[in-house]
Structure 1
Amino acid sequence: MAESDKVFAGSVPKFYDTLMVPLIFEGYAADVAALVAAFSPGAVLETAAGSGAVTRALAPRLGADARYVVTDLNPAMLDYAVTRQPADSRIEWQQADALALPFEDASFDVVLCQFGAMFFPDRVAGYSEARRVLKPGGRFVFSVWDRIEDNAFADDVTRAVATVFPDDPPRFLARTPHGYHDVALIRGDLSRAGFTHIEIRTHEKQSRAPSAREVAIAYCQGTPLRNEIEARDASLLSLATDRAAEAIAARHGTGSVAGKIQAHVIVATG
């Protein structure tokens, strides 16, 4: 993973939340929130919370006495998430590294991480930390994207942007968000972290947007793909976005567009 893959700053958090969240994250957030709430947890830790898509979905489902600690490594994303969340005395916001959690052993009933594990530089270490802070019988619930070929818009954008930089194509989407999809590898990493019961389910959904251009802006300007494009030539950000919009329209039509997205949802105990 390139260092720029972890940078969510400047205008990225707003574009991410207003465009990427409804495009690909919201549906999975609702599913994961329902899954976690069904466990009736008294204490939940969310890591890599991003702009708070899961937080907004889960908080209304938790009990009145629940403790909900929401963390992210990136202060800009966490600060933005706070502005989007209604005041709630049950929620504690804290900047934290999922690989070095500042919490006591056996503190939480559930550790939750939606689409963050792909960014962990050492996933076994991150999973070990999740296990450490879980109470006996607690659950680690997280999700990761499936391969890029099963996520139509991400694949379209990656191929289109490569035409702008043929000698050095930006590969953020394939490398990081869609780079940790092998189920056997995920099981192995969790086992090495000490988890003994691992359930993995693959969920396909449809990603929808009012236009191809909105999808292109979301991916090219609302994710760290923007960092890769600007590092090569900031003046070509608009062209890269245009190429992505054209590719999506060519494949999915003009007007409103829809494309397949697919992810793995994992529940681990041990």
Structure 2
Amino acid sequence: MGERFGAASAGGYDRGFGHVSRAFVPALLRAARMTSGQRVLDVASGTGIAAEAAVERVGPSGHVVATDLFPAMLDKARERLGHLPNVSFAVEDGQALTFPKEGFDAVICAMGLMLFPDPARGLAEFRRVLRPGGWAAASVNTTPERAFATRVDAAIGRHAPERAATGARYFSLGDAERLRSLFEAARFRGVETFTEARRFPFPSFDAYFAPIEEGQGPTGQAFASLPAELRRVVREEVRNQLSGNVEGSTGPVDVEVELLFVCGRR
């Protein structure tokens, strides 16, 4: 999966999909009980969208450490935030963090936990680096029918069996009870889950699909790598989903996106 988060996909992520990620970040920060002056760890920071909001929330007396497993993603976060004095960056594996125990007031992970090979191990690390009473919060996809770009990954998996595991991983933690049980097994207290849904309107399906067709972001890179006929099939399947199976529809489409949030206290 590492190639999905290289320089090419990192460069296009913000342009095509950053506005969607940004819309859900406030809920994540609320779930982490983030306040002024805190020291915050952002795991799987990607291009730094959640870290940027966290910096604003903790203010000049706080500090945010943005981490990611993929250097190309972290380079984009540096471009976004590197001028700020209260942000630092580190290439880190969320399942084997190098930070000492009890060093952070809050840990956040926006749309990354479902991609961990072993989410339970990652949550154990989140708890280890949290100070007593600190909160960890994560957001994940729910279902392909309520996803923004990764609904395309699910469609790719349905038509290219060798890609099915990648498509399924994006939705592997979409069940609230499973996510709650993972947090509780990691010995978090007061575990809560909730969903938030938003609609993103587009003047046409083509307007929605253009960034993917241009190869922007990890999903766009996956789509671009398909043979031409398979690209056509996947594109039409997603078009049918969003247009209510109205053949030849060229009108506006609304893309419904739902995320599942979970949080717990050390």
TM bin (shorter chain):
0.7 to 0.9
SS across alignment from 2:60? coil
Q: What TM-score does the superposition give when structure 1 sets the normalisation length?
A: 0.83
Per-residue deviation at 1:21? 1.5
Deviates more, 1:260-269 or 1:5-14: 5-14
Per-residue deviation at 1:63? 2.5
Question: For residue 16 of structure 2, what is the amino acid of its counterpart?
Answer: L
Measure, in 2, the Cα distance between the counterparts of 1:8 and 1:214: 24
Question: For residue 74 of structure 1, what is the amino acid of its counterpart?
Answer: F
Contact 1:172–1:224 under 8 Å retained in 2: no
Measure, in 1, the Cα distance between the counterparts of 2:9 and 2:110: 18
Q: What is aligned with 2:52?
A: 56
* Count of residue pairs the alignment pairs up: 262
Per-residue deviation at 1:72? 0.5
1:111-260 correspondence to structure 2 within 5 Å: 111-151=107-147, 154-155=150-151, 158-159=154-155, 161=156, 166=159, 168=161, 170-171=163-164, 174-219=167-212, 221-226=215-220, 228-229=222-223, 233=227, 239=232, 243=236, 246-247=239-240, 250-251=243-244, 254=250, 256-260=252-256
Q: What is aligned with 1:110?
A: 106
Measure, in 2, the Cα distance between the counterparts of 1:109 and 1:30: 17
* 2:87 corresponds to 1:91: yes
Could you report, residue by residue, the CA deviation over 1:204-249 in whole angstroms, capped at 9, with x for unpaired residues? Answer: 111234542243244463343445445553x568646754674466
Q: What TM-score does the superposition give when structure 2 sets the normalisation length?
A: 0.84
Measure, in 2, the Cα distance between the counterparts of 1:17 and 1:133: 29
Question: For residue 67 of structure 1, what is the amino acid of its counterpart?
Answer: H
Could you report, residue by residue, the CA deviation over 1:9-47 in whole angstroms, capped at 9, with x for unpaired residues? Answer: 14211221111121x312101332355465445200000
Contact 1:20–1:219 under 8 Å retained in 2: no
- Gap change, CA 1:29 and 1:232, over 3 Å in 2: same
Per-residue deviation at 1:153? 6.2
1:14-29 correspondence to structure 2 within 5 Å: 14-22=11-19, 24-29=20-25
- Gap change, CA 1:236 and 1:226, over 3 Å in 2: farther
Per-residue deviation at 1:127? 0.2
Contact 2:107–2:130 under 8 Å retained in 1: yes
* 2:74 corresponds to 1:74: no
Question: For residue 200 of structure 1, what is the amino acid of its counterpart?
Answer: T
Measure, in 1, the Cα distance between the counterparts of 2:238 and 2:115: 26
Deviates more, 1:67-76 or 1:199-208: 199-208
Per-residue deviation at 1:169? 7.2
Per-residue deviation at 1:94? 0.9
SS across alignment from 1:104? coil
Percent of pairs identical after alignment?
23
Q: What is aligned with 1:12?
A: 9
SS across alignment from 1:50? coil
Contact 1:212–1:255 under 8 Å retained in 2: yes
Measure, in 1, the Cα distance between the counterparts of 2:230 and 2:217: 13
Per-residue deviation at 1:58? 2.2
Measure, in 2, the Cα distance between the counterparts of 1:150 and 1:168: 22
